[in-house]
Amino acid sequence: YHSAKISAFSRMCLDSRVALVVVGFPATGLFLTRARICISAAHTQEDLDFALDVISQYGEMCGFRYFGKQADQGLIQPPC
């Protein structure tokens, strides 16, 4: 775990025109830093696909995607 990774992730996403808010300590636990993404009814399917691609790319680069390739292949199913 390295807390600077979430800040780098946020900056890389913003450079690619995807805005998100990072939340860390003391608003979260010391090791529970997270990124919040706001979706609006005004976003198109293309907007969402673009954002997902950017988040997946940089999430993989920063080491945030635990099941990245398996999820991309549909091998990981969300809980019911």
Bigger pLDDT: 41 or 71? 41
Output the pTM of the full model: 0.73
- Look at the block and give the residue holding tokens 């992730």: 9
Give the whole-angstrom CA distance, residue 10 versus residue 78.
25
**Do 9 and 59 meet the contact criterion of CB atoms below 8 Å apart?**
yes
Reported as a single tens digit per residue, the pLDDT across 15-24 is 999 999 988 8
